[in-house]
Amino acid sequence: MIFPRNVQDKVTKYLLFIQHSVSLSCFYVLEEVAWDYFFNNITWPDSFNYMDVVYGTLFAFVFLYRSIKQMVGETMQKMNKTI
């Protein structure tokens, strides 16, 4: 091992929070793109904005924190069982 086990666990937990927040933010981004497409007649490349991903990630982290925390806990348990 390059790093001690407790450092690996903390980094993995932090990165899992980011991963789950970004993956749950895809619904917000899709909603923004669909809204622009159907109501503002703006096509796909022009309607996508990288700030939507940032806002969606923050939105998902704040409002879905309990769910994300549960998913991270489940993943950490599975990871610790396999090692």
> What is the domain extent for residue 70?
18-74
pLDDT tens column, 2-16: 888 889 889 999 999
Is residue 5 included in any domain, yes or no? no
Structural tokens at position 24: 């749950």
- Which DSSP category does 64 fall into? T
Rounded Cα distance, 6 and 14, in Å: 12
pLDDT digits (tens, 9 = 90+) for 45-57: 676 778 888 888 9
Quick check: is 49 in a domain? yes
Give how far the C-alpha of residue 28 lies from the chain's centroid of Cα atoms, to the nearest Å.
11
**CA distance linking residue 30 with residue 56, whole number of Å:** 10
Residue whose token pair is 């909603």: 31
Q: Mean pLDDT throughout 34-39?
A: 79
Q: What is the pLDDT of residue 82?
A: 62
What does the alpha-carbon distance between residue 2 and residue 56 come to, in Å, rounded to a whole number?
Answer: 34
Domain count, the chain: 1
The model's pTM: 0.76
